[in-house]
Amino acid sequence: MKSWTRREFSRLAGAALLTALNQPKARGQAKARVVVIGGGIGGATVARYLAASATAIEVTLVEPRQSYATCFFSNLYLAGLRPFESLSHGYEALAKQYGIIVVHESAAAIHPAAKTVALNNGSKLSYDRLVVAPGIAFRDRALEGYDEAAMEIMPHAWNAGQQTRLLRQQLESMEDGGLFVLVAPPNPFRCPPAPYERASLVASYFQRRKPKAKILILDAKDSFNAQDLFQDAWNRHYPGMIEWLPAQFTGGVTAIDAKTRSVITAGATFKAAVANVIPAQMAGRLAQQAGLANRSGWCPVDPVTFESALQPGVHLVGDAIIGGDMPKSAFCANSQAKACAFAIAADLTGSARFPAHLFNTCYTYLAPDDAFSNAISFKPVDGKLKSVISFVSKVEESSEVRRQAARAAEGWYDAFTHDVFG
């Protein structure tokens, strides 16, 4: 059932979109210009699928990084189970195979009335449609004492890259018997199961290399995604190693003392050997500056076209949007991006419209040979994205089913990243 859903999604969504993009244009008609800001999963997917017919639409992708490191599967790197290089993906195929103009620069400002994007180097890009995939930012002053300097001592590692490498180095250097403190953020945030997967995989690393170490999760919530699956796995794989404290027990994390590597709650102070602090989140800074986010800090969109509810002609995909039942996950960003590309192609080329196929499919590791999966479909209902059909792993699944899921996850990663980056 899970594999069928993934195959059907790729086949139906991809084929329908490519059909739409390849509708003929009148001879001599100028190309429509689409600028995509952000080369993460959502942005790269929009760019690739729009550029599948280079004669119809000119696509420019604005992304300052030379390569993108996936947050998903980065917990395997932290556990010493995967090299960091395997997480990194460049933009060469998007440029060479699909004719996308890749501009390695940061967007400084968006001017919707003029339909231009100002870049940090002083140049401007004009567009007929704009897609913004700004990702997430951390809320200002979410935790007292947790500033940029503190992040270099107690990393968040929530954007894969230097922070992920730093946390890995700290885990390797930690003495056996030390305490690893993980601060889990309030909802909503990027990838709901990821903090708890991180605790699980770090525990697997400790089990192999530092068996006396302990893990303490200080949560901003009183429950969390797939809690029954995680706590069952912690009891089976890592008895006595992981302790989870909900907000109702601690009063919540109130401050960080980077000098002493301490996490302060309403009722106690916890001194860590290594601390991973994941703050409260909101839509990326560019979305805030451009007036694409509302008071919630996130971006409301039309659930069919993913056009901004606040700025006409600007579309948003990925973690920054208010997605209704759709979680903030990489596969959701990819699914939204294809629907968005489909809608833009139909508007700019006059091609046929097809119903969007919106899915989330992902794997979450509990141990190196134990993973669970989910497959959920969504559709727009009353202006919101609602879940329609879902499959989620159960606690009572056999160890063989979980081993198969762990093996299938590797193939899922390769196929998924190929779909995005070529």
Span of 5-19, 149-163, 367-381 with lowest mean pLDDT = 5-19
Does residue 9 register a pLDDT over 80?
no
What is the per-residue DSSP string for 326-390? S-S-HHHHHHHHHHHHHHHHHHHH-PPP----EEEEEEEEEETTEEEEEEEEEEEETTEEEEEEE
Q: Are residues 249 and 331 in the same domain?
A: no
Instruction: Please classify residue 221 by burial: count the beta carbons closer than 10 Å to its beta carbon, then call 0-12 exposed, 13-18 middle and 19+ buried.
Output: middle
Q: Are residues 318 and 268 in the same domain?
A: no
Confirm whether 150 is domain-assigned.
Answer: no
Does residue 17 register a pLDDT over 50?
no
What's the CA dihedral at 289, 294, 298, 299 to 10 degrees?
-80
Does residue 259 register a pLDDT over 70?
yes
Residue where a domain stops, chosen among 355, 370, 399: 355
| Pairing, β 370-381 against β 384-392 | antiparallel
Confirm whether 221 is domain-assigned.
Answer: yes
Does residue 239 register a pLDDT over 70?
yes
Q: Are residues 119 and 246 in the same domain?
A: no
Dig out the tokens for 164 from the structure.
């992920």
Q: What is the pLDDT of residue 3?
A: 40
Look at the block and give the residue holding tokens 């097809």.
354
Residue pair 156/163 in contact by the 8 Å Cβ criterion? yes
pLDDT in tens, 83-115: 999 999 999 999 999 999 999 999 999 999 999
Does residue 271 register a pLDDT over 90?
yes
Q: 345 — phi, psi (to 5°)?
A: -60, -45
Does residue 13 register a pLDDT over 70?
no
Q: Are residues 291 and 223 in the same domain?
A: no
Residue where a domain stops, chosen among 244, 277, 310: 277
Q: Are residues 133 and 171 in the same domain?
A: no
Look at the block and give the residue holding tokens 């792993």.
393
Does residue 15 register a pLDDT over 50?
no
Q: What is the pLDDT of residue 127?
A: 98
CATH number at residue 208: 3.50.50.60
Q: 143 — phi, psi (to 5°)?
A: -135, 125
Confirm whether 90 is domain-assigned.
Answer: yes
Residue pair 406/391 in contact by the 8 Å Cβ criterion? no
Please name which of 226, 229, 134, 146 lies closest in space to residue 183, comparing C-alpha atoms: 146
Q: What is the pLDDT of residue 58?
A: 96
Confirm whether 147 is domain-assigned.
Answer: no
For residue 85, CA distances in Å to 61, 74, 77, 78, 82 come to: 23, 10, 10, 13, 9
Q: Are residues 200 and 109 in the same domain?
A: no
Helix (H) or strand (E) holding 256: strand 253-257
Model confidence at 30, pLDDT cuts 50, 70, 90, reads confident
Per the structure, the complete domain to which residue 97 belongs is given by 2-137+281-355
Does residue 5 register a pLDDT over 70?
no
Q: Are residues 318 and 342 in the same domain?
A: yes
Model confidence at 4, pLDDT cuts 50, 70, 90, reads very low
Confirm whether 305 is domain-assigned.
Answer: yes
Q: Are residues 264 and 300 in the same domain?
A: no
Distance CA 52, CA 155 (A): 39
Distance CA 117, CA 110 (A): 5
Average pLDDT over all residues of the chain? 93
Q: Are residues 309 and 333 in the same domain?
A: yes
Q: How many domains, in total, are found in the chain? A: 2
Before 188, cis peptide (omega within 30)? yes
Confirm whether 371 is domain-assigned.
Answer: no
Q: What is the pLDDT of residue 193?
A: 98
Residue where a domain stops, chosen among 298, 330, 355: 355
Calculate mean pLDDT across residues 70-91. 98
pLDDT in tens, 306-316: 999 999 999 99
Look at the block and give the residue holding tokens 């930012």.
137
Q: Are residues 18 and 36 in the same domain?
A: yes
Residue 141, C-beta contacts closer than 8 angstroms, at least 6 positions apart: none
Q: Are residues 291 and 263 in the same domain?
A: no
Calculate mean pLDDT across residues 321-330. 97
For residue 417, CA distances in Å to 88, 90, 106, 182, 203 come to: 10, 11, 23, 28, 27
Q: What is the pLDDT of residue 55?
A: 64
Q: What is the pLDDT of residue 16?
A: 43
| Pairing, β 129-132 against β 32-37 | parallel
Q: What is the DSSP secondary structure assignment for residue 261, as one 8-state letter? A: T
Model confidence at 21, pLDDT cuts 50, 70, 90, reads very low
What is the per-residue DSSP string for 74-105? HHHHHTTSS-GGGGEEESHHHHHHH--EEE-S
Q: What is the pLDDT of residue 350?
A: 87
Confirm whether 374 is domain-assigned.
Answer: no
Model confidence at 53, pLDDT cuts 50, 70, 90, reads low
Helix (H) or strand (E) holding 37: strand 32-37
Look at the block and give the residue holding tokens 């995005």.
420
Model confidence at 353, pLDDT cuts 50, 70, 90, reads confident
Confirm whether 253 is domain-assigned.
Answer: yes
Q: Are residues 235 and 332 in the same domain?
A: no
Calculate mean pLDDT across residues 240-256. 97
Share of residues in the chain with pLDDT > 70 (%): 92
